[in-house]
Amino acid sequence: MHLAKKERERAGRGAEEKEGNKSESEDAEGSDTSKASIELHSGSSTYEDVLRVIRLKYPEFSNEVDMSDLVFKIGQKFRSFQQFREAVRNYGIKNQYVMNFRPNNKKRCNAFCKKGCPFYLWCSPMVTDKETVQIKSEILKHECTRDHHSIRHVSAKWIAKNYLEQFKAYPSWKLAGIRQTVRSNEETDISKIIAWRSKCIALRLIDGDEESWIRKLHDYRLELLRTHPRSTIMLKCINQGVFDGMYISLAPLKAGFMAGCRSFISVDGYFLKGLYGGQLLTAVGVDANDGMYPIAWAVVSIENRENWTWFLELLAADLEINNSHHWAFMSDRQKSLAYAEDNAKNNNTTNGDDEVTMTTLTRESTGVALHYPMLSKTNYTV
């Protein structure tokens, strides 16, 4: 009897101690929360730390992680309204719904289903951080049918961004292949014009913007001169700095041609495709293995007498062609090029029967000239 009574007394004292410890812990938690609330309103040094802890309870949207598995929640944060709209559009593409945004301004954005079902997402800036927007209310239930044919969110920009790796691997990707891939992956149809625009946007993202290239031509010239000293890099401008042409002849190529190649130069022009177009003028020699050896090239607006004369005069100065004997030039003898070649010929002195040789190649004689000696007489033909 006495032993049982003592055990009951010990159990009672243990329960009292547990209740006392619990009350002490509750008092401590209450004091911590009260301190936190006091610090929030007092503007102390720990205000930002406490505010950071409060923000952690709301998930923040990440393009790299959440875009592939879209799940919207009340309180979810976005860096901007643009990121929120992009996420909603990707949700519509993945689930085959067309989403509208109204109102859609700097203060609020409401995303809802085009077909009028209860689905909606209401997003507005946070009270504590105006730069961050947050989902305040939502209904994620759809009562409409899915759109399996055409979803307007599958735009040219969206295709270029989401299929950029495929465009990098296959720059010549056909439009039919683009349409078939989008139809298979996204279960929606796109037109040929959207496929073509997406390809243009993707190639511009891969290769760069031609407008930005033009602005960096001076930097490009200085970088070439830094990496290739004694090179000739000339910019041709008209009308107060408007770009009209660029001549490039790198010093290692000039030195190699003068040291080990024959006195034979082939000049020709090619059309350039792009935003600004233009012509590419080239001067190519022949190395010891009968292979092409680039000497100089230039980008000009049009192939005419003035540009060819400018190109050939710079080429003659680079190669130190002061006397025209023992030199042979090959070209297609177009009118503007023939005029420039004749001027170059007349501006150089001749010695006896040797002079600058202008050779015209036809389809029947392609490749024959490379096997003839370059130190030819005046009547050298192919």
Assess contact for 39 and 47: CB atoms under 8 A: yes
CA-to-CA distance for 24 and 32, rounded, in angstroms? 12
The CA distances from residue 327 to 244, 249, 333, in Å, are 30, 19, 17
Helical (H) or strand (E) element with 102: strand 99-104
3-state helix, strand, coil in the chain (%, to 5): 45, 20, 35
Q: Mind listing the pLDDT tens digit for each residue in 263-294?
A: 999 999 999 887 788 999 999 999 988 899 99
**What's the confidence (pLDDT) of residue 321?**
87
Looking at residue 159, the DSSP 8-state letter turns out to be H
Assess contact for 111 and 90: CB atoms under 8 A: no
Q: Mind listing the pLDDT tens digit for each residue in 91-135?
A: 988 888 988 898 888 889 999 998 888 999 999 998 888 889 999
Q: What is the DSSP string of 272-329?
A: --SSS--EEEEEEEE-TTS-EEEEEEEEESS-SHHHHHHHHHHHHHHHT--B-TT-EE
Assess contact for 60 and 75: CB atoms under 8 A: no
Cross-strand bridge partners of residue 246: 235, 299
Where does residue 240 fall: left (phi above 0), alpha (psi -120 to 50 degrees), or beta otherwise?
left
Looking at residue 356, the DSSP 8-state letter turns out to be P
Q: Give residue for tokens 């031509």.
A: 217
Q: Mind listing the pLDDT tens digit for each residue in 160-204?
A: 999 999 999 998 899 999 999 999 998 888 999 999 999 999 988
Where does residue 56 fall: left (phi above 0), alpha (psi -120 to 50 degrees), or beta otherwise?
alpha
Quote the percentage of the chain above a pLDDT of 70: 71
CA-to-CA distance for 5 and 203, rounded, in angstroms? 89
Mean pLDDT of 205-216: 80
Q: Mind listing the pLDDT tens digit for each residue in 240-269?
A: 778 889 999 999 999 999 998 989 999 999
**What's the confidence (pLDDT) of residue 354?**
39
SS3 of residue 218 by DSSP: helix
**How many CB atoms are closer than 10 A to CB 2?**
6
pLDDT at 221 over 70: yes
Point out the least confidently predicted range of 18-22, 173-177, 178-182, 214-218.
18-22
Assess contact for 134 and 125: CB atoms under 8 A: yes
Domain assignments of the chain as residue spans, ordered by start? 63-139, 156-207, 213-371
pLDDT at 75 over 50: yes
SS3 of residue 91 by DSSP: helix
**What's the confidence (pLDDT) of residue 122?**
93
SS3 of residue 45 by DSSP: coil
**What's the confidence (pLDDT) of residue 360?**
42
SS3 of residue 110 by DSSP: strand
Quote the percentage of the chain above a pLDDT of 90: 36
**What's the confidence (pLDDT) of residue 55?**
53
Looking at residue 154, the DSSP 8-state letter turns out to be S
**Nearest of 222, 237, 232, 303 to residue 269 by alpha carbon:** 303
Whole-model pTM: value is 0.51
CA-to-CA distance for 318 and 321, rounded, in angstroms? 8
Q: How confident is the model at residue 379 (pLDDT cuts 50, 70, 90)?
A: very low
Assess contact for 154 and 193: CB atoms under 8 A: no
Query: 213-371 has which CATH code?
Result: 3.30.420
Q: Residue 213 corresponds to which tokens in the numbers above?
A: 């290239």
Q: How confident is the model at residue 157 (pLDDT cuts 50, 70, 90)?
A: very high
